[in-house]
Amino acid sequence: MIFSLVFLLAFSSFAGFAGANTTQNSAKAFGEFDFSSSDQISVIVELNEPSIVEAKHKGQKQSKQNLKKVRENVKANVQKAAQNVTFNREYDHVFSGFSVEVKESDIPELLKVPGVKAVYPNVEFTVDIVGEGLEINAFEISPEMMDSAPFIGSDQAWDAGFTGKGVTVAVLDTGVDYTHPDLKDNFGDYKGWDFVDNNDSPQETPPGDPRGGSTNHGTHVAGTVAANGLIKGVAPEATLLSYRVLGPGGRGTTENVIAGIERAVHDGADIMNLSLGNTLNNPDFATSIALDWAMAEGVVAVTSNGNSGPNNWTVGSPGTSREAISVGATQLPYDLYRSGLFTSEGVEYPSAKVMGFPTVEELLALDGVELEFVHAGLGAVSDFEGKDVEGKIALISRGEFAFVDKATNAKNAGAVGVILYNNVAGENPDVPGMALPTIKTTLADGQKLLAELEAGNNTVSFAIEFDREVGETMANFSSRGPVMETWMIKPDVSAPGVAIVSPIPTHNPENPHGYASLQGTSMAAPHVAGAAALILQANPNWSVDFVKASLMNTAENLFDIDGKLYPHNTQGAGSIRVVDAINAQTLITPGSHSFGTFIKDNGQQVERQHFTINNLSDERKRYSFDVNFNGNPEGIKIITSNNLNVQPNRSQQVNFNVQIDSSKLKNGYYEGTITVSNGTETYEVPTILFVGDPRP
């Protein structure tokens, strides 16, 4: 669900008041609230008084003492305005405000309190992971299993002497097993902070915690950043800090995430990774604001884009941040296989295709083999109770929960493969990294299989053969942009996020070597955080804007399985290549651009925009520019600067205008590409514009 954005005036009536213009002294409420409810809820209150970092970057004076004085005054007035108030966390560094428990019906009164700028719901954040994952025995681990780090060029960076040494990466997650043999050398005496249990031991949740399930997510993320043992992360000599903001079951709340961001900045982290999210597509949510100011303070913030794809507008906070680097997930190149099914003479299954598989060997093991198949409903754990699927094929219907979980449940029940049929018309998507070889069919072919079982024909054989190799592709689950209100392209870049092998805790000191294969944008983001560590070691004087631009400007374009270029709001600028980013001699900032919205009632509109060319080389370079929108739609006209000479180690602004005749354009958004060339190198900058009200 995407929460709606609701603006509330500090007047006497609030219920149902949405989308209104606010007066100068009004406070805003973001999210959804039921003002008739007397339930006690937790909210985040933002103050008009700027945070320490915000004031610094606006040329204003601010101190902790002054901010505390203002905050205490507002809190005192909140206590007068509302009943049964309980204050929790306070923020002052990159966010100005506090969290408070209050009756939902008292929020309108809270908004009237002088000094209150906004109120946000204290929403739940969860880890961005798809399925349960696959644990791997330490004896089965090989360096080749961490093939995603070399794929983006990390091994070439290591050969050049860049391993992340001297760079500190903060992991805001479920905690990290800092005793794991592959990670213990990345931590110093100070490990970070646990905001769930409020202590200095930010470990993962162990089994048996009465508050919820054990966790392994943060350790897996940290391993992708910097593991240095049986598995090597992207930046194996980087220093790690752990901030446990998600507790048992991998769940947490806004108030702890903001606190973790503040602490990481205060502790001097160079980079922070947030492989977590919610479904709020809003750039002005509290976590996004905190990340924007963390970036302003020089901390490279990297976030996962979310796992709610493949539809557009599915990116969630904090991936919606204006400044942080939001990351989509890709699948590494793989071999595509064809599949056929046979049950009995005269029954054909033309829709049968390979959906996904754990290894080629396991998939090919089904070729030409006749096996029994058993209908297992939706593939829930309960659907396998009382059914013998040991060594058999599980026939499962789509619906209710994730494909990967269905395959995992079948594997745990002893099945050796899955046939997964659709529950509606059409074809199921491909889902790489399934726990078992999985063949997909349409609903019609699934009904044929059910009819075969009814007739007593309970065996199936497969014909599986190699089709072709597929290059790096976007994961189907990866969330897409654009972002509401700012209309920005998201993600910014993409990185491997399917079947990523990394350390996990065993919660057993006698056997500390735990590993698992997981997938999600959670797994993609730490590739970028690790890459940023390599870039900063190589270019220690680069700003956060330069780090972000280097990753975006040098990214590789991605094409789908049919060779069609993915839209910008699917792949961002493309898949990162760390060595190219390290060696970039030209940087274009910002790395993507939105022209915003054009309203049809206004007739022809002209918007003036600019970007900056940064020539980092020791020689003068001459740049040319071109802007093209997909399909060259009538009604969009671009006027760019002439060729531009930029002196060595200098930056220069490039101006260009866009003229829109909305009467010639349909409502919606239009993606384009700004191409910058210096004669020998070409750089592409994603751009976008909107006609009419762009909200879905």
In the chain, where the domains are located:
28-122, 127-332+474-579, 334-468, 585-691
Q: 602, 662 in Cβ contact below 8 A?
A: yes
Which is it for strands 459-470 and 334-342: parallel, antiparallel or unpaired? antiparallel
Gyration radius of the chain's alpha carbons: 26
pLDDT at residue 8, rounded to an integer: 28
For range 154-168, the mean pLDDT: 97
Exposed/middle/buried for residue 80 (C-beta within 10 Å: 0-12, 13-18, 19+) = exposed
- Long-range CB contacts for residues 205-213, cutoff 8 Å, separation at least 24: 205/174, 205/175, 205/247, 205/248, 205/249, 206/505, 206/507, 207/507, 209/248, 211/247, 211/248, 211/249, 212/247, 212/248, 212/249, 212/251, 213/248, 213/249, 213/250
Can you tell me whether residue 202 is helix, strand or coil? Answer: coil
pLDDT at residue 587, rounded to an integer: 97
The architecture CATH gives domain 585-691:
Sandwich (2.60)
Q: Which residues contact 457 (CB under 8 A, 6 or more apart)?
A: 343, 344, 347
Question: How confident is residue 624, by pLDDT bands cut at 50, 70 and 90?
Answer: very high
Measured N-to-C along each axis, helices 521-538 and 544-553 cross at an angle, to the nearest 10 degrees, of 110
Tell me: pLDDT of 484 over 50.
yes
The architecture CATH gives domain 127-332+474-579:
3-Layer(aba) Sandwich (3.40)
Rounded to the nearest 10 degrees, how much is the dihedral formed by the CA atoms of 254, 225, 519, 156?
150
Can you tell me whether residue 624 is helix, strand or coil? Answer: strand
The architecture CATH gives domain 28-122:
2-Layer Sandwich (3.30)
For range 435-458, the mean pLDDT: 95
Token pair 């060696």 is found at 583
Lowest mean pLDDT among 134-143, 523-532, 628-637, 640-649: 134-143
| Residue of 535, 663, 553 whose CA lies nearest to 612 | 553
Query: Nearest 5 degrees, angle CA 439-CA 478-CA 302?
Result: 145
Half-sphere exposure of 645 (CA within 13 A, CB side): 3
For range 89-114, the mean pLDDT: 95
Same CATH fold assignment for domains 28-122 and 585-691 = no
Question: How confident is residue 9, by pLDDT bands cut at 50, 70 and 90?
Answer: very low
Can you tell me whether residue 158 is helix, strand or coil? Answer: helix
**Catalytic residue annotation:** 173, 217, 522
User: Is the whole-model pTM more than 0.85?
Assistant: yes
Tens-digit pLDDT profile for residues 301-340: 999 999 998 999 999 888 999 999 999 999 999 888 999 9
- Range among 9-13, 23-27, 143-147, 417-421 with highest mean pLDDT value: 417-421
Tell me: pLDDT of 15 over 70.
no
Six token digits for residue 657: 């205008």
- Looking at domain 334-468, which of 3.50.30.30, 3.40.640.10, 1.10.286.10, 3.30.70.890 is its CATH number? 3.50.30.30
For range 280-301, the mean pLDDT: 91
Question: How confident is residue 10, by pLDDT bands cut at 50, 70 and 90?
Answer: very low
